[in-house]
Each structure stands twice: as structure tokens, then as C-alpha cells.
Amino acid sequence: MSAVEVEAVTKVFETRTDSVRALDEVSLTVADGEFVALIGPSGCGKSTLMRLIADLDEPSAGEVRVFGMPARQARLERAYGIAFQQAGLLPWRTVRANVELPLELHGASAAARRARADELVELVGLGDFADHHPDQLSGGMQQRVAIARSLAEHPRLLLMDEPFGALDEMTRERLQGELLRIRTETGAAVVFVTHSIPEAVFLADRVVVMSPRPGRITEIVDIDRPDASADPESMRESDAFFRSVTAVREALHGRDTAAERGATASGATAPEAAARGVETR
């Protein structure tokens, strides 16, 4: 069964002055256990698509199913875990208590909560910080707590909206590696929104490229992934990685401009790309 099925979904936001077609007849299927990255310039509807899957918003037309259930039912049955760009931790709760929150909301016993939270805090490498409060943590550490929290109830699907978007490059690469490891351990499907081409290529099995006004899927790029047994970090240096980065960049900017740019300096951030809100580093 597919983790996510999005069928001809349209989302129109009515504002007082005009209406914005954030998504226009978008269809997408995410297989169980598959890692899909959504990429595209700002305003192309990535967050909107993710919010529809999470049933935080409702589509204007079309249908969203999660593990065969309507999105609303999936949400109420906690079929997914979710993390946003802002860690969104509750400042009055310790790291452990933040991770326990979903379990507490759903009536798990104190002992079970504690055991699971300790396990997850360990998993994201924050064992020494379990009793700290969020204001005592760096941005990267807060984001790890948010990821641990999203994993609390063993979800088969993770929804992540630019979870590393606010972090510095080094922290970001380290957390990408950790996310891959966690994902291998849990086998969950992931829908991952990002601005960064290398991030999308490093993480995903498939990269979904979107374009704005109206929000549409323009292309889906399959990524050559190294063997599961290989060290994922080695991928960053591989030829396959650069080929995939080029393929995604071409899909984003159109073939001609990308080819030109490849001839001058590979990987350089073009002003045009920056202007369109996509990082090419």
C-alpha cells in the first residue's frame, strides 16, 4: 500500500483582495518506505502540499489518502510524525518532556513514555541534555529534539517542512546524515520539503520538482542511491551525486540555462537561481 496518494489536488487560498492557486491538479504517490523530497522556488506550494497530506488544511478539489485512509482519519489515527522549520518545542518542558508530548497526549503510561523518550533522546544524540530546557540548546539541538518528538509514536510516515532550513551548513550536513541513519533504522516513508538541491539529492529516493503560479509538479527525478551497506557520507563525493544534482538543477531551471552554467562553473550559485529562491550549493 502507498504511504501517500495525492490525486488531482487543487488548493486555492481566497484572500480579501484576490485568490491564490497554491496547487493546481497535483498528483503524487509516495510508496511505503520511500524518501521523497519536494523542491522548488518559494511560493510553489511545497508547504501547502505537505499541510494537505497532514490534514492541517483541506484541498479545494481532489483527494489525499494516507495509508489508504482519508487524510483526516490518518491524522486522527496518528499515521504520521511531523517536523517544521521552527522546532516548535514547548519552552516550559524539558527535552525529555517535549519528546514525551505526543505519547502523553494519547494517554501512554508514565513509564512507557519515559522509556520511549529516553530511547529517542539517545537516538538523536542528546542523552546528556534530557533534562535541559529548549532555551539552553542550540538551534541544531532543538531541531533534533523536534525530530525525536516526530518519531515518538513509531510513525510509518514522516512529514518534514524544511527542518534544517534555519541551520548552518555544518550542522545541516550532520543532521542530514543522522536523518538517513534514523530513516534506515525505522524504515518510515518520508516527505521532505527543502530549498537545497544537494540536500534533496543526498536524502531522497525521488526528488519532486515544483514550479509556482500555479503550483505544479514539473518533473520527478529518480536518484541513484549508493548501496544501503555503503557509508552514506561517501555519496557526497560520488559522480552519481553530481549527476543527480545536475539533473535536478536542469529540471528546476530548464535545460538550456543549466547547460550553459555547467560549462562555466559547476556548482556556482547563479544570480538567477538565487532570485528564484533556490539554493544550488
Partner 1 sequence: MRLSSRQTRAIGFGALGVLSLAVLWEGYKLLGPAEGISIGETVLLPRTTELAMPHVWDSVARAFQPASSASDELVIVAVAQAAASTLGIAGVGMLLGAVVGVLLALLMQRFLLADRAVLPWLILSQTVPLIALAPLVVAWGGRLQLGPFEWERWMSVAVIASYLAFFPVAIGTLRGLRSPEQAHLDLFRAQGAGWWKTLRYLRLPAAVPHLLAALRLGTATAIIGTVVAEVSTGARGGIGRLIVEYAQSGSSDPAKAWAPIAGAVVLGLVAAGAVALAGLLLHNYRRAEAR
Ligand X SMILES: Nc1ncnc2c1ncn2[C@@H]1O[C@H](COP(=O)(O)OP(=O)(O)O)[C@@H](O)[C@H]1O
User: Using the rule CB under 6 A, is 12 a contact of ligand X?
Assistant: no
Judged by CB under 6 A, which stretch of 14-22, 63-71, 95-103, 258-266 contacts ligand X? 14-22
Q: Which of 77, 53, 73, 55 is nearest to 208 (CA)?
A: 53
In the three-class reduction of DSSP (H, G, I as helix; E, B as strand; rest coil), residue 194 is classed as strand
Question: What x/- string results for residues 48 through 67 when contact with ligand X is judged by CB under 6 A?
Answer: x-------------------
CB nearer to partner 1: pick between 141 and 273: 141
Q: Is 102 in the site for partner 1 (CB under 8 A)?
A: yes
At 59 the three-state DSSP class reads: coil
The sign of the dihedral angle between the CA atoms of 171, 225, 34, 25 is positive
Q: Which residues from 120-179 bind partner 1, rule CB under 8 A?
A: 133-137, 139, 142, 166
Q: Counting contacts by CB under 6 A, is residue 13 touching ligand X?
A: yes
User: Whose grid coordinates read 522549520?
Assistant: 85
Which among Mg ion, ligand X, partner 1, none contacts residue 13 (Cβ within 5 to 8 A by kind)?
ligand X
Task: Tell me if 76 contacts partner 1 by CB under 8 A.
Answer: yes
Helix (H, G, I), strand (E, B) or coil at 174: helix
Q: Give strand pairing partners of 193.
A: 38, 161
Cell of 9: 489536488
Q: Choosing among partner 1, Mg ion, ligand X, none, which partner's interface includes residue 177 (Cβ < 5 to 8 Å by kind)?
A: none
Residues in region 37-96 near Mg ion by CB under 5 A: 47
Q: Which amino acid is at 247?
A: A
43 touches which of ligand X, partner 1, Mg ion, none (CB within 5 to 8 A by kind)?
A: ligand X
| Cβ contacts of 69 within 8 Å, gap of 6 or more | 77, 79
54-63 core/surface letters (b: 16 or more CB in 10 A; e: else): bbebebbebe
Binding of residue 218 to ligand X (CB under 6 A):
no
Cis check: omega of the bond before 214, within 30 degrees of 0: yes
Residues that bind partner 1 (CB under 8 A): 51, 54, 56, 75-78, 80, 82, 84, 86-92, 101-102, 104-106, 133-137, 139, 142, 166
Residues that bind ligand X (CB under 6 A): 13, 15, 20, 22, 40, 42-48, 215
